[in-house]
Amino acid sequence: MHSECMGKWSPSDDAELATGWRLWLELSDRVWPDPSWDGTPADAIRQVRALLAVCEEIRLSYLAETSRPSVALLQLLQSMSFVASFAVDLWHDDTHPLDVERAELLHGDLASFADHVAGVRAALAQGGGWVELDRRPWGLPVD
């Protein structure tokens, strides 16, 4: 899902801006397995699940801070668990080492989620006014 499919988000107050910024930062590098990955799908999904837990914490904190929550921001937050749900449900309890075929399937699921995360980050950066932070002068990709 690309950022243009996600609609426009523009913060209406400081709480919404801070929440968008926090979400943008959290989404910067938490999709792919970290160096502690044990090579199983369940452990690869561990990081996605941790990211989803942070998204839920951000959502609850935001709802506690504001009396008029932004539907657009809540939709961005909720889209994370919706898009990740298939991969999480499929892989969360798979503790068998990967073979080539399963590795390709897992990679495809993580790549789909990474594409969604990139779209959410782009929507947040556009609305928050920090698009330039996603541009790296040395030409390296953001995610």
Asked, for residue 2, whether it belongs to a domain, the answer is no
CA 1/CA 134 separation, integer angstroms: 18
* pLDDT at residue number 133: 66
Asked, for residue 8, whether it belongs to a domain, the answer is no
Which residue in 15, 13, 5, 34 sits closest to 120, CA to CA? Answer: 5
| pLDDT, tens only, 40-76 | 999 999 999 999 999 999 999 999 999 999 999 999 9
* pLDDT at residue number 8: 76
Section 6-32 average pLDDT: 87
Q: Domain span at residue 57?
A: 35-133
CA 33/CA 30 separation, integer angstroms: 8
Asked, for residue 18, whether it belongs to a domain, the answer is no
Domain count, the chain: 1
Asked, for residue 46, whether it belongs to a domain, the answer is yes
Q: What is the pTM of this model?
A: 0.85
Asked, for residue 95, whether it belongs to a domain, the answer is yes
Asked, for residue 114, whether it belongs to a domain, the answer is yes
| pLDDT, tens only, 110-119 | 999 999 999 9
Asked, for residue 7, whether it belongs to a domain, the answer is no
| pLDDT, tens only, 80-103 | 999 999 999 999 999 999 999 999
Residue keyed to tokens 């690869």:
44
Asked, for residue 10, whether it belongs to a domain, the answer is no
98 vs 47, 54, 85, 105, CA distance in Å? 17, 27, 20, 10
- Helix pair 41-65, 71-91: axis angle to 10 deg: 160
